Amino acid sequence: MRKIALILLALISTAVVNAQDITQTPEWTQLLNALQNENWQQANDLSNQCLKKAMINEPENNMPAVLRYMVILSESGLMNDGKISQEKALSDVKGFEGKPIVLPGHPITAKLAFNSVNMVNGKTDSLYVLAGNKSRTEIFAFEYIALSEKWPVDDFKASVGKVCRLSGTLSSITVEGHLLPRFRIIINDAQYDISN
């Protein structure tokens, strides 16, 4: 009887751990640290691991969409460092096409700048992010975001300096450049959320 009780306790514990929110796990903290430190191999391993868990435990919330972007970013970092080929990097993320994606929060700017949200050709029906490393010496992706509803230009300009988070459907991802490879990402049906 005691043996059966121990087995049941182990199964229940495993179920609770498996259902745990990804952001409450040690892997999440390690992933954020790896991204912050631009340790692309560790970030890639952890983001893929967390994505698999999130697809099982949290498929209905935004976590898989957030993690897809983390996978893309780490793949681009590895590709940019010459650790993996362009073909492998693209192959590893091509399956994300047609799926939701959430970009990290970026400041809204009036002029083109690294890791910021910009208008395209002075219009706000499409936005642009030039994603790169912290030191702004490497380009990871050119991200084009087509909004589902136009953002009034005056509202966009009034939001300069605030942080904006963009989400939508990853319509297309390709690789550009040979000496300086990077992804070209197109996101459709996008929404924006501004933090105050």
pLDDT tens per residue across span 133-167? 999 999 999 999 999 998 999 999 999 999 999 99
- DSSP 3-state assignment of 38? coil
Q: What is the pTM of this model?
A: 0.87
Alpha carbon separation from 34 to 15, 152, 184 (Å, rounded): 27, 37, 23
Contact (Cβ atoms closer than 8 angstroms) between residue 97 and residue 170: yes
65: enclosing H helix or E strand = helix 63-80
Strand partners, 173: 185
Name residue, tokens 């790169």.
132
- DSSP 3-state assignment of 195? strand
pLDDT at position 122 is: 87
pLDDT at position 125 is: 87
Contact (Cβ atoms closer than 8 angstroms) between residue 182 and residue 176: yes
Range of the domain at 68: 2-195
Average pLDDT over residues 1-24: 48
Alpha carbon separation from 15 to 11, 19, 67, 180 (Å, rounded): 6, 6, 22, 45
DSSP 193: E
32: enclosing H helix or E strand = helix 26-36
Strand partners, 170: 187
pLDDT at position 11 is: 32
Strand partners, 53: none
Contact (Cβ atoms closer than 8 angstroms) between residue 105 and residue 97: no
Structural domains counted in the chain:
1
